[in-house]
Structure 1
Amino acid sequence: MNRDDLAASIDHTVLGPETTLDDVKAVLDDASEYGMNACIPACYVEEAAEYAADVTLATVVGFPHGQHVPEIKRREGVEAWNDGADELDVVINVGRLKMGDTDAVRDELAELVAAVPIPVKVIIETALLTDEEKHAACQAAKDADAEMVKTSTGFADGGAEVDDVALMSEYLPVKASGGVGSWADAKAMFDVGAVRIGASSGVEIVDDFEQNAE
């Protein structure tokens, strides 16, 4: 992996509850300069798409807990696409999954995937799931024709873990998100099957790579 390939594999992220448009613009500036993607709150997508048309723009759906009703998730995704989003990261309904209602989890994801012509990544929130539930969540995402599965929102205890990424990569390409703050962290995820990194420290990861990669 070279520097440009690494940068293109990072979703430089700002999703905190106090995020302002200025915060988003700062992330977009970094993403544009470094060749990264950006992941931002849905409320700023239209302005962000106009501000940085060269940046691949991801936003979140059903964030951060995944408990929106399916129709709201679908509408939220469609609105984000209409506003200029290039990719969607949607949170599963963890409670439904834990109840064993995997059909409901799959069906709401499939409705969103069918409603938009852009990639949908499915956040399964690994820190809240058993291994059996992780398998079930990934299978639901695959059956719904999602593009990718993603480890975490960053709002539950715990983030991306090597063992989880390896498990998830049996089903779909993986976005490792949560606690990835250095090139060493990112490389560990890539080594077990991740193809994308979600991180607020995208600049630091790329700089670290340039300084330390062999």
Structure 2
Amino acid sequence: MNREDLAASIDHTVLGPETTLDDVTSVLDDAAEYGMNACIPPCYVEEAAEYAPDVTLATVVGFPHGQHTPEIKRREGVEAWNDGADELDVVINVGRLKAGETEAVRDELAELVAAVPIPVKVIIETALLTDEEKHAACEAAKEADAEMVKTSTGFADGGAVVSDVELMSEYLPVKASGGVSSWADAKAMFDAGAVRIGASSGVAIVEDYVDNEA
């Protein structure tokens, strides 16, 4: 992996509850300079798409707890696409999954995937699931024709770990997100099977790579 490939595999992220438009434009500036993607709150997508049209722009759906109704998630995704989003990261309904309602989880995801012509990544929130539930979540995402599965929102205790990435990569390409803050962290995730990294430390990861590998 070279520097350019690494940067293109990072979704440089700002999703905190106090995120301002200035925070978003700063992330977009970094993404444009380093060749990264950006992942931002849905309320700023239209402005972000106008500000940085050459940056691949991801946003979130049903964030951070996944408990929106299926119709709201579908409408949120369609609106984000219309505003200029290139990719969507949607949170599953963890409660329904844990209750064994895997068909409802799958159908909700499939409705969103069918409603937009852009890639949908499914956040399964691994820290809240057993291994059996992780398998069920990934199977639901695969059956729904999602593009990727993603480990975490960053709002639950725990983030991406190697064993979860290995498990998830049996089903779909994996975005490892949560606690990835250095090139060593990112490399461990790539080695485990991840193809994308979600991190607020995108710049630090790329610079760490340059310092240690380039």
- Tell me the equivalent position of 1:93: 93
Deviations 1:9-39 (A, max 9, x none): 0000000000000000000000000000000
Secondary structure in 2 aligned to 1:15?
Answer: coil
- Tell me the equivalent position of 1:212: 212
Q: CA deviation at 1:152?
A: 0.1
Secondary structure in 2 aligned to 1:121?
Answer: strand
- Tell me the equivalent position of 2:68: 68
| 2:195 maps to 1:195 | yes
Secondary structure in 1 aligned to 2:95?
Answer: helix
Following superposition, which runs of at least 4 residues in structure 1 exceed 6 angstroms of deviation? none
| 2:77 maps to 1:77 | yes
Secondary structure in 2 aligned to 1:54?
Answer: coil
With normalisation by structure 1, the TM-score equals: 1.00
- Point out where structure 1 has 5 or more consecutive residues left out of the alignment: none
Identity %: 89
- Tell me the equivalent position of 1:118: 118
| 2:150 maps to 1:150 | yes
Q: Distance in 2 between matches of 1:172 and 1:23?
A: 31
Q: Distance in 1 between matches of 2:131 and 2:26?
A: 37
| 2:133 maps to 1:133 | yes
Q: CA deviation at 1:137?
A: 0.1
| 2:45 maps to 1:45 | yes
Q: Which amino acid aligns with 1:73?
A: K
Q: CA deviation at 1:105?
A: 0.2
Q: Which amino acid aligns with 2:126?
A: T
- Tell me the equivalent position of 2:16: 16
| 2:176 maps to 1:176 | yes
- Tell me the equivalent position of 1:159: 159
Deviations 1:85-143 (A, max 9, x none): 00000000000000000000000000000000000000000000000000000000000
Q: Which amino acid aligns with 1:52?
A: A
Deviations 1:17-65 (A, max 9, x none): 0000000000000000000000000000000000000100000000000
Q: Which amino acid aligns with 1:158?
A: G
- Point out where structure 2 has 5 or more consecutive residues left out of the alignment: none
Q: CA deviation at 1:213?
A: 1.6
Calculate the aligned-residue CA RMSD, in Å.
Answer: 0.5
